[in-house]
Amino acid sequence: MSKNAFYAQSGGVTAVINATACGVLETARNHADRIAKVYAGRNGILGALHEDLIDTSQESAATIAALRHTPGAAFGSARYKLRGLEENRAEYERLIEIFKAHDIGYFFYNGGGDSMDTAHKVSQLSKSLDFPITCVGIPKTVDNDLPVTDVCPGFGSVAKYIAISTREAALDVRSMSRSSTKVFVLEVMGRHAGWIAAASGLAGTTPAEPPHVILFPESPFDERAFLTRVKHSVERYDYCVIVVSEGAKDQDGRFLAESAARDAFGHAQLGGVAPIIASIIHEHLGYKYHYAIADYLQRSARHIASRVDVDQAYAVGQHAVELAIRGENAVMPTIVRESDEPFQWSLGHVALSRVANREKKMPRSFISRDGFAITPTCRRYLRPLILGEDYPPYRDGLPDYVTLKNAAVPRRLKTDFVLT
Catalytic residues: 143
- Nearer Cβ to its own copies, position 370 or 391? 391
Q: Could you tell me the smallest distance in angstroms from the CB atom of residue 78 to its own copies?
A: 4
In angstroms, rounded to a whole number, what is the distance separating the alpha carbons of residues 272 and 404? 34
Query: Minimum CB separation from its own copies for residue 103, in Å?
Result: 26
Question: For residue 367, what are the CA distances in angstroms to 60, 195, 200, 253?
Answer: 47, 10, 13, 18
Q: Classify burial at 300, counting beta carbons within 10 Å of its beta carbon; exposed 0-12, middle 13-18, buried 19 or more.
A: middle
What spatial distance separates the first Cα and last Cα of the chain, rounded to whole Å?
A: 37
Q: What is the DSSP letter of 287?
A: -
- Closest contact distance (angstroms) between CB of 79 and its own copies is 5
User: Which amino acid makes up residue 334?
Assistant: T
- Measured from the CB atom, the residue of 156 and 333 that comes closer to its own copies is 156
Instruction: Specify the pairing of strand 183-188 against strand 289-293.
Output: parallel
- Residue 165's φ and ψ, nearest 5 degrees, are -60, -40
> What is the DSSP track for 211-246?
PSEEE-TTS---HHHHHHHHHHHHHHHS-EEEEEET
Element spanning 133, H or E: none
| DSSP conformation letters of 144-205 | ---SSSS--TTHHHHHHHHHHHHHHHHHHHHHHTTTS--EEEEEE--SS--HHHHHHGGG-S
Residue 185 CB, nearest approach to its own copies (Å): 9
Strands (E), 207-330: 213-215, 240-245, 289-293
Nearer to its own copies, 254 or 282 (CB): 282
Q: Answer yes or no: are the C-beta atoms of 27 and 61 closer than 8 Å.
A: no
Nearer to its own copies among residue 10 and residue 123 (C-beta): 10
Beta strands per DSSP E along 358-400: 394-395, 398-399
Distance of CA 232 to the CA centre of its chain: 34
Closer residue to its own copies in complex, CB, 324/386: 386
Strands 35-41 and 53-55: antiparallel
Q: Least distance (Å) from its own copies to the CB of residue 340?
A: 12
CB of 29 to its own copies, least distance (A): 23
Task: Choose between 108 and 161: whose C-beta lies nearer to its own copies.
Answer: 161
